[in-house]
């Protein structure tokens, strides 16, 4: 696959002539600055305004994708008219879509048990954070000191 910059003239012509364009943005580290802890990742107001303007244009379908749970992502961004994809796309809402991967929900009980076990086994490790997001599970090592 060629690097985007090597084929940009062709891509930009296609985008310019397309009647509809899907724009997907990652939340953490793309729409928000990279931060030490997830709860510190907030959407800058300038970025919020830009997303709102794009979402109001008929030509664009605007979406935000994240490893965060869908409800958390929607609460953080809180812009009407966007498509939100949480848990790395296992749950999607917006633009007429209301989707939860059909097999993902069957793992909720297992993930809860794994989360409890990890929290117990890693309790003595400084900086460890176990985050059960219902359909996915993250284990993070945060800086200490």
Q: Is the pLDDT of residue 10 over 50?
A: yes
Average of per-residue pLDDT values in the chain = 92
Q: Give residue-wise pLDDT tens across range 11-68.
A: 999 999 999 999 999 999 999 998 877 888 999 999 999 999 999 999 999 999 999 9
Contact (Cβ atoms closer than 8 angstroms) between residue 115 and residue 122? no
Active site residues: 26
pLDDT at 43: 96
DSSP string covering 87-125: GGGTEEEETTEEEE-TTGGGGHHHHHHHHHHHHHHTTTS
User: Could you give all domains of the chain from N- to C-terminal order, each with its CATH number?
Assistant: 19-100 (3.40.50.1000), 105-141 (no CATH)
Share of the chain above pLDDT 90, in %: 75
Mean pLDDT of the 98-127 span: 92
| Model confidence, pTM | 0.83
Provide the pLDDT for residue 35: 85
CB-count burial class (<10 Å; 0-12, 13-18, 19+) for 134: buried
pLDDT in tens, 67-95: 999 999 999 999 999 999 999 999 999 99
Whether pLDDT at 145 is above 90: no
């Amino acid at each position: 696959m060629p690097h985007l910059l090597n084929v940009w003239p062709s891509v930009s012509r296609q985008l310019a002539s397309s009647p509809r364009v899907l724009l997907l943005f990652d939340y953490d580290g793309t729409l928000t600055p990279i931060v030490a802890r997830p709860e510190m990742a907030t959407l800058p107001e300038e970025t919020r305004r830009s997303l709102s303007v794009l979402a109001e244009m008929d030509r664009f379908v605007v979406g935000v994708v994240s490893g965060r749970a869908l409800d958390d992502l929607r609460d953080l961004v809180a812009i009407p008219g966007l498509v939100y994809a949480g848990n790395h796309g296992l749950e999607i809402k917006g633009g007429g879509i209301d989707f939860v991967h059909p097999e993902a929900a069957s793992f909720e009980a297992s993930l809860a048990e794994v989360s409890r076990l990890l929290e117990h086994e890693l309790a003595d490790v400084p900086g460890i954070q176990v985050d059960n997001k219902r359909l996915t599970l993250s284990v993070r090592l945060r800086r200490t000191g």
